Amino acid sequence: MSTDMKSIQISAEPSKDPAVCKFTVNRILSPEGSVSCRSVSQAEGSPLLEALFAVEGVREILVFGSSVTIAKSTEEPWQVIGKHIGAAIRKSFESGKPLIAENQSEKLPSEEELREKIETLMEAEINPYIASHGGRIEIVDIKGTVVYVHMSGGCQGCASASVTLRQGLEKLIFGNIPEVTEIVDVTDHSAGRNPYIQ
């Protein structure tokens, strides 16, 4: 894999969680889907993961397509850590090997396992809370690491639905199940007849 290091462009996109930041590269990093990694030993054999875990403060890595989402365990600002992460990404290309080992994806849970984990989390944490507002969230489908949800009851058509999704559901799922890369709301909110509690 011969790559001109100067042609590699990397942009950073901090998330609402100050401990998480997404880095997008103008190269495909994981052609076979998403890869989650939580330890140095798990990173062995994958140049990209090894290089990223060599950066002090990196706690967790999720690679999906051309992006790398990093969770940190340090108070150092992303402006500082980001420079080291950028250097690590570029360094991984120098190995000339595939950035992610072929067997790395075998460590990811199946769609069935993801559904079970998410449903358990939702029934224990999310739905009991929003039920008090007359709402409910259900999983419609899971494709790879993308989860599709439907909001019903008081959540359908509610002006706060996006807040519930972003601040509540996403934060909880991303924080507990890092293998999930995206949550898509497929609810037709315009059809909500009675979205507010009377």
| CATH number of this structure's domain 5-107 | 3.30.1370.70
pLDDT score, position 130 = 77
Cα-flanking dihedrals φ and ψ of residue 103, to 5°?
-90, 5
pTM of the model: 0.55
Q: How many CB atoms lie within 10 A of CB 10?
A: 17
Say how many Å lie between the first and final Cα of the chain, rounded.
62
Q: Is 55 helix (H, G, I), strand (E, B) or coil?
A: coil
Q: Which two tokens stand for residue 122?
A: 């939702």
pLDDT score, position 12 = 94
pLDDT interval class at 198 (50, 70, 90): very low
Q: Which two tokens stand for residue 92?
A: 């991984």
Segment 13-63, tens digit of pLDDT = 988 788 889 999 999 998 777 788 877 877 888 999 999 999 999 988 989
What is the enclosing helix (H) or strand (E) of 117?
helix 111-121
Where along the chain do its domains lie? Answer: 5-107, 111-191
The residues, any chain, with a CB within 8 Å of residue 91's CB and separated by 6 or more, are 51
Segment 121-170, tens digit of pLDDT = 888 888 887 777 777 888 899 887 788 988 876 555 555 555 555 667 77
Higher pLDDT, 182 or 26: 26
pLDDT score, position 193 = 45
Q: Concatenated DSSP letters for 135-156?
A: EEEEEEEEETTEEEEEEEETTT
- Taking the CA of residue 165 as centre, how many other CA atoms within 13 Å lie in the half-sphere pointing to its CB? 24
Residue pair 64/146 in contact (Cβ under 8 Å)? The answer is: no
Q: Which fold has domain 111-191?
A: GMP Synthetase; Chain A, domain 3 (3.30.300)
Q: Which two tokens stand for residue 190?
A: 């315009």
What is the C-alpha to C-alpha distance for residues 76 and 67, in angstroms, rounded to an integer?
21
Segment 54-99, tens digit of pLDDT = 999 998 898 988 999 998 989 999 999 999 999 999 999 887 888 9
Task: Please state which of the ranges 93-102, 107-116, 162-171, 178-187 shows the lowest mean pLDDT.
Answer: 162-171
Region 4-18: mean pLDDT is 83
Q: Which two tokens stand for residue 132?
A: 């008090």
Higher pLDDT, 47 or 191: 47
Residue 75 identity (one-letter amino acid): E
What is the C-alpha to C-alpha distance for residues 96 and 198, in angstroms, rounded to an integer?
63
